[in-house]
Structures are given as C-alpha cells and as structure tokens.
Chains A and B, each alone.
Chain A
Amino acid sequence: MKRDWSLWAGLAVLIFLLPLFVKSPYYFSVLIFIAIYGMIVLGLTMLMGYAGQISLGHAAFFGLGAYFSSILTLYLHLNPWLAMAAGLVGTIVIAFLLGIPTLKLHGHYLAMATLGLGIVLQIIFKEEVKLTGGPTGLTGIPYLKAFGISFSNDRAYYLLCWIFMLVLLGLSINLVHSRTGRALRAISQNQVAAGTLGISVNWLKLMVFALSAGYASIAGSLYAHYLAFVNPSPFGFMVSVKLVAMVVIGGSASLWGALLGTALLVSLPEFLTRLQDYEMVIYGAILILVMVFAPRGLTGIAAKIFDLLRGRTRGENAQAA
C-alpha cells in the first residue's frame, strides 16, 4: 500500500513539473489523451483485473459521458461542471440497471453481453439524430471554465485532466487496499467460495461495474469539452477492444498497469507514423504476443525483473501480493 501511495506522489510531482520542460501543444495533447483513455482503462482494470469481470463494451460508457455533457451544455445551457456531474450520475445509473441482468453471466457469455450492449448503445447514438446529431455529430461544445480560467489551451487542459486522473487513481488505490478490494479479489478467484465467506457477490460486482462506467463517463465529458465536437465514431466496438488491449498489455492485476498500457498504446502510433498502414497488423501481433509470452502484461514483466534483481523466487512473490 505504501508503495502505491509513493508511486502516486511521484506521479503527481512529475505531472506538475513536466510543463517546465515541455512546451509543445502537440505533446500536451498526446498526454491529454493518455489521461482521458487512462481513466477509462483504470476503471476497466478494476473491473477486469480485480473483480475478474470482462467488458467488451466500455467505449459506450465513454460515449454516454461525452453525449450527456454535450447535450446538457448545448441544449439546456447547463454549466459544464454540473453537466459532467449529471452525466456521471446518469451513466452510473444506466450501468447499474444494465448490469443487473448482465453480471449474472460469466466468462464468454458476459463478454458477449457487454459487447452487445456496447454495439446497441453506439447504434442509438447514431440513430437518435434529433438528440445526438447522429453521425454528423454535435459542434460548438463550450469549453470548461473555472476560477476565471477557460480551459481552452492545451497546457491548462493537460493539468486539468491529470488532476482528475490523480483523484481517480487515489480513489482506486484506496478501494483496492480496503476490505472491499480484498473482497473483489476473492470474487475474481472463485465466486462461489467468496459467496460462502459472506461477501455479497452480486452487489459488489454491480458496484465495480457501475464505478468503472463512472470513470469512463468522466473521461467522456473531458473528451467532449476538449474536442468541442462529438460524434459516434470514437465509441464503437473497436475502441472497446483497444481499451481491453490497454488493460491487458499493461497488466490487468495492477492499477499502474492501466497507466502503462494506455501510455504505450496511445503514444505508439505517434512514433510509428512511417508505418501507418501497418498499425492494425502490429496491434494484432502485440496482443497475441503479449498473451502468449507475457500474460500478466508489462507490470508482470516488471515484477519478474524486480524479483530477479532481489533474488526472490516466484513462490515468495505470490504470497507478498
């Protein structure tokens, strides 16, 4: 637990010091997207890694947050912060309701159900043109404002997004190290056994599902206010798949894996501009290779390296977790 909090503090320091060395809006924008997607992946990691439930439809919750914020600020002229909060509540409620029948399923069936939900929600975004603007989307979404600063420049937005990320990260660290966190871990190992220990399995699963949807909703709101434009294309099946890839490549058993996986997969395409046409092939290959050779992801590899350095054996390390 101490390790997590010290890493958190280190990250916070890094975030605030970075603008002294980095000036380019381009780098800030990449970092902004890492924060935004990172929030969704963080929630997803708690769901998949800690509670052991798969979701192949999380991009839809990302979309719900974005559309709630856009519609409430454009049509009802609501204050953007209130709209974000309303979107958060709305998404959590929807996720909760959808989760009740969905989380009764396991394994492949759960994966397919979440996939189906994600696709149906995206189709709703596309079809309800009067509400969502349909495929053409909504433009002119207002910028966020606070204390007189309008968050329209990249450096300010970068700080805003990463502050949100630090808050959510702190929340997650707290959750993971609490009784609830341990209960979640028990559920992911063996649901039936966890139930016999007195853990209210269904309620906890629902809670994490709704919470992860909430994280995605906040990310969605931040996304909408950054682009000032929203349409259904960033909320589809392929994005849900990429989110899962970020969880898995980072290492689903670790919150820090969420950040690593996101940072890698968001920034990689920027470095590989020469190989633009090959991006899909590389993506697919990475997924397969990681699953075959390093199923615990990057953090799993990091943990192995640490073990080697400290001369510990595998068995000892497993108990220390």
Chain B
Amino acid sequence: MKKLALFTAILVICGLTFASAIAQNKPAKAPYKIGAVIDVTGSASGLGEPEKQTLLMLTDELNAKGGINGHKIEMIIYDNESDPTKAVTKAKKLVSEDKVIAVIGATQSGTTMPIVDIISEAKIPLVSVAASWKIVTNPETKQTRPWVFKTAQSDSLAVSKIYEYLNKNNISKVALITVSNGFGDSGRGELQRLAPSFKITIVADERFGEQDADMTAQLTKIKGTDAQVVICWCIQKGAALVAKNFKDLGMPQKLIMSHGIANQNFLDLAGAAANGIILPAGRLIVAEQLPLTDLQRKGLLDYKSKFEAKFSPAKVSTFGGHAYDAFKILTNALKKAGPEPEKLRAEIEKTKNYAGCGGIFNMSAADHEGLTKDAFVMVQIKDGKWELIN
C-alpha cells in the first residue's frame, strides 16, 4: 500500500511538472507555414541552390525580428530534383500534408508548369521564380491565372531591351545561337517573335545541347554569314563555352547574351573570354554603379552584403534575387492582409512600387508579373567586372 502511494505521488508530481513546462513553452502565436518547391539538385541546381539559400536567410532574418505580427515564419523547402514528377508530389505534399498558406517555386518553367493547376485548385497563392509567361497566363484562354504570380522577368522583356539597344546602334542583322532547353527555347521563341516589330532580321539560327562541350561548329557556320551581332541565349557552362569558342575563333561580330549570365559563376568560367560581352541584366549585379537616386539601390546593396557575408565565397546571383523578391512580396502582403488565402492573394495583386532585385514591381489583376523592360539595364563585361552602359 505504501509503495503504491509513493508511486502515485511521484507520478502526480511528474505530471504537474510536465504540464507546467508545456504551459510555459507554449508559443505565443502559431507560425505561418510557407512552402517552397525548388530545383535544388539536378540540371537546374546552379539556380536552385542560391534560391534556397536566399529563402533560408530571409526567413531567419524575419524571424529574428519577431516574424510577422508576432507569427514566426516556418519555411518548408522541398527539392524537386529538376524533375516535373517530383515537383508534383512535393507540391501536393505541401498543400495537403504540410498545409502551407502559400507556395514559392519552382525554379524552372518546366518544373513550375505541372504544379500551377495543383496550387490553383488548392486556392492558395503561388509565387513562381521561373520566367515563362505561360506560368501566369493561360496560353489557351489568354486569361491571367488568379492564384499565380511570378518574380522572374519574362524573356520578352529582355529581348525587347536588347532589340531596343540594337535599334539605337543601327544594327539590324543578327545570328542566334541558343541552347536546347526550356530557357534557351523560350528565348529563341521571343527573339523570333519580336524581331519584325523592331525591324531585326535573323540571318542564322543555331542550336546546341545542354551537355555539349563545344560550339565551334555552330559558330563557324555563323562566321560565314553577314550577321552584325550574335545573340546567345544560354546560361552557365554552355554560355561560357560559347564565349570561349567565340573568342578563339576570332569572330568579328559583337556577342550579346541573355540576363541569365548575370552571375559570378559565369565570369569565373568564361574568364578573359567574357570581355566585351553585352547583356541586359537586373540591377543587382551593378548595384554599386547605380545613381544614388535609383529606387532599387539600397535594397540591392543590403541583400548583396548580407548574402555574401553569410554564404561566402558564393556571390549574389539573379536567381537568388528572384527568390528574394518572391519572399518579400509574399511577406509584405502577409503583413497587411493576414494568412487567409483570398485576402492574401488580393493583397499580392495590389503590390505597387515594390523596388526589388528584379525590378520595380507593379502588379494588378491583369498583370501578375508587374515588370516592364526597364527592369533591365544594359551592361557590358569589362576585365571581369560588370559595367553599366548608359
């Protein structure tokens, strides 16, 4: 009998201690769960990795300040391995298991397209970091998808900026060399589509594979045409190889590339061959050279110093910038409207004059991208550095 009494007493004391411990550790407010489906590994890993790092960095920063109205942010990031199948399962997991209030992603247009309908049907906002216009606009009905937004500039804007520059410099004959993947294809499509309206003639249209190690054959063909500039739509290794081959062959034309090369990795790979390349770019890479009156300058320098301090030796890249904008636009709206999906969606749509990494965003019901071609500036590479062209 005594033993039983002692045992019960101990049990009760444990129970009370436990209960009071729980009561003390109970969080003040439930966290806001935000999901992200990113191509962290696989073919787009060079883009996805900085996106993931940026999201983690910003989440920590926001939580250190106490979160949003006292609610901490719980960022759940899944890797879709650059695979559309996995993007689908991870998106469904975020929606039905993790019950997130919004989703950021995916890195590429190819991995975003399959999840657009899934997230829309779940009626929570999706902020994509991929570029294709088909993400925010249904290509058949031409209607804007109400639940989907994106922060990466469309290819059409980059191409318009390039063609505008060419017009200014009286250049009208171009040769294209593009990579056979979603990015290159989309660029090629826009280059062809917009050429007539800017009075540009395309005299050559070469392509190469993602894994190709040598593009001299294609460039040699172009050398034999009367093109005045060569426009290359590719990123990372492929673009660096084109730059090197271009220089080795002694091509007489100027080389213009896409905004996708606006990162340190390209400069490291291309080395001296990058000299003289012209590209449209978001203001992030030339942040220091922007006039003090530029609205984006302060935010860009802030992101740059924080990112490079935390993830050194990595440098900022446009891709991380897209994730930065997605996070900021989402959390800004969250702060104003709260987590209820329809209110959150409507608030994102009201984003006005947000000076981010990719440009100054002005969204509306019809425009879920919010950028114009002035999101870009023309930049030239000189001695391994980015130089703003005025």
Contact = CB atoms under 8 A, between A and B. Distances in A.
Contact between chain A and chain B defined by CB under 8 Å: yes
Nearest to A223: B85
Contact of A127 (B81, B96, B180): B180
Contacts of B182: 135-137, 231
B88 A140 contact: no
A26 B139 contact: no
Contacts of B41: 276-277, 279-280
B95 A25 contact: yes
A174 to B, nearest CB: 30
Interface of B: 40-41, 43, 78-79, 81-86, 88-89, 92-93, 95-97, 109-110, 113-114, 117, 132, 134, 138-140, 180-182, 184-186, 189, 207, 209
A140 B96 contact: no
Contact of B92 (A26, A134, A233, A269): A26
A273 B78 contact: yes
A178 interface: no
Contacts of B88: 29, 226-227
Contacts of B95: 25-26
Contacts of B189: 136
A172 B41 CA distance: 37
Contact of B113 (A123, A129, A229, A279): A229
A229 B184 CA distance: 19
Contact of B96 (A24, A123, A227): A24
A140 B138 contact: yes
A233 B83 contact: yes
B185 A129 contact: yes
Contacts of B96: 24-26
B20 to A, nearest CB: 32
Given A129-B185, A140-B139, A227 B97 contact: no
B140 A140 contact: yes
Contact of B117 (A30, A134, A228): A228
Nearest to B42: A233
A234 B83 contact: yes
A136 B132 contact: yes
B114 A135 contact: no
A136 B185 contact: yes
A33 interface: yes
B110 A137 contact: yes
Contacts of B92: 25-26, 29, 154
B140 A270 contact: no
A273 B93 CA distance: 11
Contacts of B40: 276-277
A29 B78 CA distance: 16
22 contacts: A26-B97, A29-B89, A33-B89, A135-B110, A135-B180, A136-B110, A137-B113, A137-B182, A139-B134, A139-B139, A140-B139, A229-B114, A231-B84, A233-B82, A233-B84, A233-B110, A234-B83, A270-B89, A276-B78, A276-B81, A277-B79, A279-B41
